Amino acid sequence: MQPGTMGAMRLPSVLTTRDLPWAELQAARIDGDLVGLGTAFIPLDEPVAAEHRARAVHADHVDRVIAEQRSAAWIWGAMATPPPRPELCVAIGARVRSHHTAPVREVVIEPGEISLVDGLQVTSPLRTVLDLARFSDTFGAAEHDMVAALLTGAGLVLDDCVAELLRRRNLPNKRRALERLAAFGRGQPLLTR
């Protein structure tokens, strides 16, 4: 099967139940034509890129939704697999309902903290690092690897993250994030609380 085709019909490179019924997607997966990508599917021979991961995360959500935290880390290639449920947010005042499979948080976010990936909103790598440091229940080896991959992929250094945290006033979990990033920078065991 040619990428983006199924029979004679031209289809998007990332397929969801908006494109084909669930049974047809599963049949194509079983036949070896498609592989799963989060809750979406792509042709077997399609190389996976950030655009595909962004489309998979946003498949069931409105345009104003922003992929954040682990979903953003996955889109940026800092995780091998997506989180079990998409992690999504909207700017305060956007008034988007939570989807039944994924809650949507309202957050204060600046335009520069949002990147567009194939026209879809994703927190920037810097904002993603800060959110992971601020909101992760634990900050162990998996989070360390995500932060390292995000910093490397975006050409950032830890000082960029610390400076951004210090620039902000009244930021929830700011102290926690600074402690976690300081431990990350020293290469010492990571804090878990």
What pLDDT digit, counting tens, does each position of 20-77 carry? 999 999 999 999 999 999 889 999 998 899 999 999 998 877 778 999 999 999 999 9
> Average of pLDDT values for 4-24?
77
Question: pTM, whole model, 2 decimals?
Answer: 0.85
The residues, any chain, with a CB within 8 Å of residue 29's CB and separated by 6 or more, are 35, 36, 41
Reference 181, options 143, 142, 152; nearest CA is 143
pLDDT of residue 61: 76
What are the backbone dihedrals phi and psi of residue 166, each rounded to the nearest 5 degrees, phi first? -70, -25
pLDDT of residue 9: 62
Question: Are 17 and 56 within 8 A, CB to CB?
Answer: no
pLDDT of residue 193: 37
Q: How is residue 80 written in tokens? A: 């091998």
Residue in the structure block whose two tokens are 């997966």: 29
pLDDT of residue 192: 39
CA contacts within 13 A on the Cβ side of 111: 0
Element (H, E) at 123: strand 120-123
Question: Are 87 and 102 within 8 A, CB to CB?
Answer: yes
